[in-house]
Chains A and B, each alone.
Chain A
Amino acid sequence: MGKTSLFNRITKLHQHVGNYPGITVEKREGSVKANGKTYRIIDLPGTYTLFPTSMDEEIVYNVLADKQNPAHPDLVVVVAEPNNIKRSIVLYQQARELGVPAIFVVNMIDEANAKGIDIDYQKLEAYLHTKVYTTDARNGKGIAQLVQAFDERPGYFPGQFEVDSVHKAALAEAKKAFPLHTEYQTWQFIAQENISFLTKEQQQILAGIRERHQLSSNVLQQAEAIKRNKKIEEDLRTIVLQKDNHHLHRTNKIDKVLLHPILGYVIFFFLLFLVFQLVFILSEPIMDWIDENFSALIDYTASVLPEGPLSNLLTQGVLAGIGGIIIFVPQIAILFLLISLMEETGYMSRVVFLMDRWLRPYGLNGKSVIPLMSGVGCAVPAIMAARNIENTKERLVTMLVTPFMTCAARLPIYVVLISLVIPNETFLGFGLQGLVLNLLYILGVVAALLSAAVLNKIIKNQHKSFLIFELPSYKTPDWRNVGMNMWEKTSGFLFQAGKIILAMAIILWVLGNFGPNDKFSNAEDYVQQANPALSEEELDEEVASFRLEHSFLGYMGMGIEPLVKPLGYDWKMGIGLISSFAAREVFVGTMATVYSLGEDVDPDDDEERETLLSRMRSEINRNTGRPSYNLASGISLLLFYAFAMQCMSTIAIMKRETGSWKWTLIQTVMMTGIAYIVAFIAYQLLK
């Protein structure tokens, strides 16, 4: 917590999110100009240990222990909080013993007194063999001095931990294999399995040593943890004095309410309800504003450019595509604002505490709550949020089911389809349309939980599931962090998803605007021959839809018609489905093109939506002779969109986060398969 605040304070806005090479995990990086040079600073995930149990922790270990790692630092800044300074000292000593230069910072010193902690810095400096810096990230105290110290290189210090004499033989063997490493680093190689940066041969040597000496890495790690903590406990007795903790009194009082067996849940669900209400209410005016301005921009661009394919590509392809992305930004930004507020204040850990019991039967973890909630905004950052789940299986299951949550991109499709097929009536005093929309949200949650339960049975567990986490003291949020977090998540969506949506918009435009034969290029002649009596306006419309039918896109739609016919769709809806596999939000725009409105249609603009809706309503499915959008096909389509994996960005992020095509493909096939089956059953029952 304090570490990221400090990082934000030092780098200000000079930061960006990149990837760790090889493992392509998100990396927060920034820079600061000081002492006549520019320092590159990496905000590593928070950890207390160099024995990783989660992916986040493994990143830290690899960066620090592997000198070949491109992110390997010249200097490590270990940030401690007065409250748990002992844990940070363990980490600091481990770093120094590995041979990584490190300095020690005690952050949030302003809170130390209130927390009843008294630190003798002179003694601490002597104990750690380094200068100790004190900062307060909230008000910037001490930061200038810390930045000045970035040229310090307190080096290898074989400090406090001595390998147990019974293991000396094993250590000596390992030293022969790793002559260039510090003793502690070599020891860590023995005490850890699956170190990813070692070669196969090195791993085999280490496994051999463990086997010969009958060493279990778990036992070694525990022994080390006990030994180190015992020693620090004794050594710090005169350095850190702990008195009564007022903060904790306050926190305990608040927790009596927020963690109450009944009231706690009532408050949580109320907050959840409030969050989603706020997301929709607050974002609406901004979305309207974006909408208006984008339509105006498109109109303006169309008016200044000479008419022709280029203008079309720019307005209908590129600009409409960008507009389709930007429209989601307010919802996503507000959702992540609220979620990061919950994280910053310390409430999110309480949610984990309250929900673990209820998620465990589904093979999930209390920590799955955060990805699942974020999934209502966008699955891409939500899947990334699963990274702090320690257990590999629970993390995998969480990532696999998160896309079932109703993301912002499904909403415009739901709105259009619901107003098409669900009568605008009231049911038990509630609007029927609104009720169906709510049901779809609930359906997303149910689908996520049920599929998690099934996956839980199928996937084998490599490790025992465990859950241990800190319930931090409540505090007022650091707005800098909240703002930064919100910006990162939103811009991540904007640029990552944006690239794909934009590319798809262009591809779709090309496919829809070119055809393989002269039925496309000479559409006017064909239409005129068939219906000589058409008025000019009717002719234009007929030509447009004839063109579409004979464009590449049209042929693709007809190509998959046999596949979607049992679900109650015709080839035009097939086109919508094909285009939606890039990103769901493309559907509405595609439908507008398919029903030959020409322009980009905004589902939020009432007038334009009505035009599109009336077109869609009067559309006749040529296979059945009935309206294309009737209750049966509409429900079937809604269900299809609720379940199907139709998002390239999610697929891309799954590949990145799981590091395997296997699970990415399994997820895509599973979701789309369920969607197909459910839509099929719904249509066959309702038709």
Chain B
Amino acid sequence: MQKSFSLDLLEIGEQATIRQLDSSELPSKFYEMGLLPGTVVEIKHKAPFHGPIGLQISNSNILIAIRKSEALHIFVEK
């Protein structure tokens, strides 16, 4: 199995499975919005100059936007 890395490293169009969220850095709202361990996400958009990242949560077909600084605390595996 591949080692997990932070979500912001994914390119547009890439899919990955969330393994873990750094819970000391992120509020529970991230879970409530559907960014749960085990969820498959696909990067759909990236705003320029390290702006927000738009991702699709594949099991619910919802688009969510988060900041890059938050994506740093979400660890995924391909």
Real binding pair: yes
Known contacts being A48-B32, A222-B28, A356-B51, is A245 close to B65, with CB within 8 Å?
no
B-contacting 9-mer, from A81-89, A301-309, A398-406, A509-517? A81-89
Cα distance, A357 to B60, chains bound together (Å): 27
Cα distance, A470 to B60, chains bound together (Å): 12
- B61 touching A356, Cβ below 8 Å: no
Known contacts being A242-B60, A464-B25, is A471 close to B54, with CB within 8 Å?
yes
Known contacts being A357-B47, A471-B54, is A49 close to B32, with CB within 8 Å?
yes
- B29 touching A53, Cβ below 8 Å: yes
Known contacts being A225-B32, A255-B44, A466-B70, is A366 close to B27, with CB within 8 Å?
no
The answer, yes or no, to whether B33 is at the interface (CB within 8 Å) is yes
- A230 touching B28, Cβ below 8 Å: no
The answer, yes or no, to whether A221 is at the interface (CB within 8 Å) is yes
The answer, yes or no, to whether A218 is at the interface (CB within 8 Å) is yes
Taking A353-B45, A366-B52 as known contacts, 18 extra A-B pairs with beta carbons closer than 8 A to each other, sorted by chain A number, are A48-B32, A53-B27, A83-B61, A84-B34, A222-B21, A222-B23, A225-B31, A230-B36, A255-B54, A259-B45, A353-B54, A354-B51, A356-B67, A357-B47, A358-B51, A467-B52, A470-B33, A473-B63
- Which among A226, A230, A357, A473 is the interface contact of B48 at CB below 8 angstroms? A357
Shortest A578–chain B CB gap in Å is 46
Cα distance, A261 to B70, chains bound together (Å): 20
Known contacts being A242-B61, A467-B66, A471-B64, is A356 close to B52, with CB within 8 Å?
yes
Shortest B63–chain A CB gap in Å is 4
**B27 neighbours in A (Cβ, 8 Å):** 53, 218, 221-222, 464, 466
Main secondary structure of the interface of B (DSSP, over half): loop
Cα distance, A283 to B57, chains bound together (Å): 43
Closest to B59 in A: A242
The answer, yes or no, to whether B62 is at the interface (CB within 8 Å) is yes
The answer, yes or no, to whether A219 is at the interface (CB within 8 Å) is yes
Closest to B48 in A: A261
The answer, yes or no, to whether A352 is at the interface (CB within 8 Å) is yes
The answer, yes or no, to whether B5 is at the interface (CB within 8 Å) is no
Cα distance, A230 to B44, chains bound together (Å): 25
The answer, yes or no, to whether A469 is at the interface (CB within 8 Å) is yes
- A467 touching B45, Cβ below 8 Å: no
Among B34, B37, B50, B61, find the residue whose CB has the most chain A CB atoms closer than 10 A: B61
A337-353 interface code vs B (CB 8 A; 1 in, 0 out): 00000000000010011
**A90 neighbours in B (Cβ, 8 Å):** 32
Among B32, B35, B37, find the residue whose CB has the most chain A CB atoms closer than 10 A: B32
The answer, yes or no, to whether A252 is at the interface (CB within 8 Å) is yes
The answer, yes or no, to whether A523 is at the interface (CB within 8 Å) is no
**A113 neighbours in B (Cβ, 8 Å):** none
The answer, yes or no, to whether A115 is at the interface (CB within 8 Å) is yes
B-contacting residues of A (Cβ < 8 Å)? Answer: 48-49, 51, 53, 83-84, 86-87, 90, 115-116, 218-219, 221-222, 224-226, 229-230, 233, 242, 245, 248, 251-252, 255, 259, 261-262, 349, 352-354, 356-358, 360, 366, 390, 464, 466-473
Cα distance, A188 to B27, chains bound together (Å): 16
- A229 touching B47, Cβ below 8 Å: no
Known contacts being A226-B37, A357-B51, is A466 close to B60, with CB within 8 Å?
no
- A468 touching B70, Cβ below 8 Å: yes
Enumerate 10 A-B pairs (CB-CB under 8 Å) in ascending A order: A51-B32, A83-B60, A219-B23, A221-B27, A222-B28, A229-B32, A255-B44, A353-B65, A357-B48, A366-B52
- Which among A86, A360, A467 is the interface contact of B65 at CB below 8 angstroms? A467
- B36 touching A51, Cβ below 8 Å: no
Closest to A221 in B: B28
The answer, yes or no, to whether B56 is at the interface (CB within 8 Å) is yes
Q: Which 7 A-B pairs have the closest CB atoms?
A: A357-B51, A225-B31, A221-B28, A471-B63, A245-B61, A261-B48, A222-B28
Among B50, B63, B70, find the residue whose CB has the most chain A CB atoms closer than 10 A: B63
Cα distance, A390 to B28, chains bound together (Å): 13
- A466 touching B26, Cβ below 8 Å: yes
- B33 touching A468, Cβ below 8 Å: yes
**A53 neighbours in B (Cβ, 8 Å):** 27, 29
Shortest A122–chain B CB gap in Å is 22
Closest to A251 in B: B63
- Which among A84, A255, A349, A468 is the interface contact of B60 at CB below 8 angstroms? A84
Cα distance, A262 to B49, chains bound together (Å): 11
Cα distance, A221 to B54, chains bound together (Å): 25
Known contacts being A90-B32, A353-B52, is A116 close to B45, with CB within 8 Å?
no
Cα distance, A252 to B27, chains bound together (Å): 28
Cα distance, A222 to B32, chains bound together (Å): 8
- B36 touching A226, Cβ below 8 Å: yes
**B38 neighbours in A (Cβ, 8 Å):** 230
